[in-house]
Amino acid sequence: MSGVRRFAPQPAGDFGWEGVDRLRYKEEGSAPFRDVTRQVLFAQPDQASELRYFEIAPGGHSTLERHEHTHAVLILRGRGSVRIGDDEFEIGAHDLVTIDPLAWHQFRADAGAALGFLCLVSRDRDRPQLPAADDLARLERAGRR
Ligand code: MN
């Protein structure tokens, strides 16, 4: 639908847009993510891609996962870090992060700042894989370098 959806931040400053639902992920016992919301900004039948906005509350993190589909991630607000494979990078507003097929990845918000980003993905995409115990052990060793 053509038009302008006005930027409508929440009272606490979290990003939002008029008419866009803000979906909070459920947190259960061993949930592999913490304090993440998702908003679908653009999804149309004629487009092979979807544009979503994710926001991770201060100190929170996304799921450590990998999949065949790629991500283009543009940071819109805050500061944090991203793990990509065996590497970890500090990131902040306006940085562009790209994730290759089957690269392990996880986003973290700094303790004092939310991390908000646009994420472009394929509409038709494979389900994320979670790390098995041996993957985790290797990733943790790499993270301590
Ligand atoms: Mn992903």
pLDDT in tens, 24-52: 876 555 556 778 999 999 999 999 999 99
Annotated catalytic residues are: 119
Query: What is the rounded distance in angstroms from the CA atom of residue 42 to the CA atom of residue 20?
Result: 10
pLDDT in tens, 71-114: 999 999 999 999 999 999 999 999 999 999 999 999 999 999 99
Is the whole-model pTM more than 0.85? Answer: yes
User: Residue 86 has what DSSP assignment?
Assistant: T
Kindly give the distance from the C-alpha atom of residue 3 to the centroid of ligand 1, in angstroms, as a whole number.
29
Kindly give the distance from the C-alpha atom of residue 122 to the centroid of ligand 1, in angstroms, as a whole number.
11
Query: What is the rounded distance in angstroms from the CA atom of residue 87 to the CA atom of residue 84?
Result: 5
N-terminal to C-terminal alpha carbon distance within the chain: 49
Query: What is the rounded distance in angstroms from the CA atom of residue 13 to the CA atom of residue 11?
Result: 5
